[in-house]
Amino acid sequence: MLTDLGGWVIATVVALGILSVAAGIAVFVVDSMARATFALLASFLAVAGVLLALDLVYLAVVTALMMTIEMAIMAVFMIMFMMNPAGLMPMTMVHNAKGSAVIGAGAFAGLTVGIWTVDWPTRDVSRPADSTRQLGEAIMGSHMLVMLVIGIGLFATIIAGTVLATARGRYDRFGADLAAEHPDDPVPGGLPR
């Protein structure tokens, strides 16, 4: 695999890999919510850069797109749930430092050992001309069941998380007997109802 790549590509991948790890470490070093969030984003973008260098354009741009929106949504949650919504006061970004360090180091060691010891299958076909099409065919074909199960699982998680997070239920909106004609919402939506 590595031998297929040119020297510049390998150098780029190594540099971006180091950058992503360094940005990941920075998440725990900085003392501001915003800097931690964007250090994490920088780490993800470096991973997207690695994918781009490996010519997996679709995976690269989707990683950048998803992670950016994810971090932005995280910023929204930051003001909803933080005691210090603006986050400008310096604050520690680590909780349970020892425990998480052990878990992190253990996971890193386990994955590294796995990556270098597993007997990876060798490629017996040539590289596809269009990796995006190949990916789409895999997702929409042989791996469709997996994708559907994951998709429904994620969707259920999102709904469950929202239900758990919101303090207001349908009885608050439509009254004790759910008979109100119009929902009683603190912020009116854009539609007339």
Q: Which residues bind another protein (CB under 8 A)?
A: 32, 34-35, 38, 41, 57-58, 61-62, 64-65, 68-69, 71-73, 75-76, 79, 86, 88, 129-133, 187-191
Distances (CA, A) of 91 to 34, 37, 94, 97, 137: 11, 13, 9, 14, 47
Whose CA is closest to 44, among 15, 74, 20? 20
Measure the CA–CA gap between 152 and 146, rounded to whole angstroms. Answer: 10
| CA diameter of the chain | 70
Q: Nearer to another protein by C-beta: 41 or 46?
A: 41
Comparing CB distances to another protein, the nearer of 113 and 165 is: 165
Cβ proximity to another protein: between 5 and 56 the closer is 56
Q: Name residue, tokens 């040539």.
A: 126
Angle, in degrees to the nearest 10, between helices 131-140 and 57-81: 70
What is the nearest approach in angstroms of another protein to the Cβ of residue 75? 6
Cβ proximity to another protein: between 13 and 44 the closer is 44
Q: Output the smallest distance, CB 119 to another protein, in A.
A: 31
Q: Measured from the CB of residue 102, what is the shortest distance to another protein in angstroms?
A: 31
Min separation Cβ 182 and another protein, Å: 14
CA distance 123 to 138: 17
Which residue number, 103 or 147, has a Cβ lying nearer to another protein? 147
**Closest approach of Cβ 108 to another protein, in Å?**
27
With the CA atoms of 107, 62, 49 and 126 taken in that order, what torsion angle do they form, in degrees rounded to the nearest 10? 90
